[in-house]
Amino acid sequence: MKKPFGSPGKASGLILRIGQCLFSTASIGVMTSASGFFTVTAFCYLIASMGLQVLWSFGLACLDIHALRFNKELHNHVIMSLFVVGDWVVATLSLAAACSSAGVMVLFTKDTEMCKTYTKFSCNLFPISIAFAFVSWFLVAISSYVMFWLVASI
């Protein structure tokens, strides 16, 4: 079977995993550098969720490097099923974290005057971190669809 774009053990798959790692790390970096983030549960959850995504994507990136280097075949049904479940859990948690943070951010900037009254909040940094989290989710969503497609068509 021809391997589709982004499948494990392929260069495009590795690029997707590296992208997920980079954007998740960037999201955590920007959020932790913003003052006042720890007072909002949604922002703390974003950091936890992005942390999980970094670990997951880094692990799979290492596996991809190993497969590319030694020309190994990763299209085993058990491994793929494991990847699918993991990818979907991580993707759902990432989307949930990004959306809950975005909801709070809209409340801070549009619905209330919290960003103006509470000057301790770094309201210019929160949206950047959330945007990185959405990009990271988008990349993991692509991987999830490719994995699910592969498992369903094996």
The residues of the shown chain that bind its own copies, judged by CB under 8 A, are 39-42, 92, 95-97, 99-104, 106-107, 110-111, 145, 148-149, 152-153
Least distance in Å: CB of 71 to its own copies?
A: 27
Distance CA 140, CA 135 (A): 9
Q: Which is nearer to its own copies, 22 or 99 (CB)?
A: 99
Closest approach, Cβ 95 to its own copies, in A, equals 6
Question: In this complex, which beta carbon is closest to its own copies, that of residue 58 or of residue 148?
Answer: 148
First to last CA, the chain: 9
What is the C-alpha to C-alpha distance for residues 151 and 77, in angstroms, rounded to an integer? 7
CB of 68 to its own copies, least distance (A): 25
Min dist CB 2 to its own copies, Å, is 15
Give start and end residues of each alpha helix (H) in 107-154: 114-117, 126-153
Q: CA 144 from chain center: how many Å?
A: 11
- In angstroms, the CA 99 to CA 130 distance is 8
Pick between residue 61 and residue 133 the one whose CB is nearest to its own copies: 133
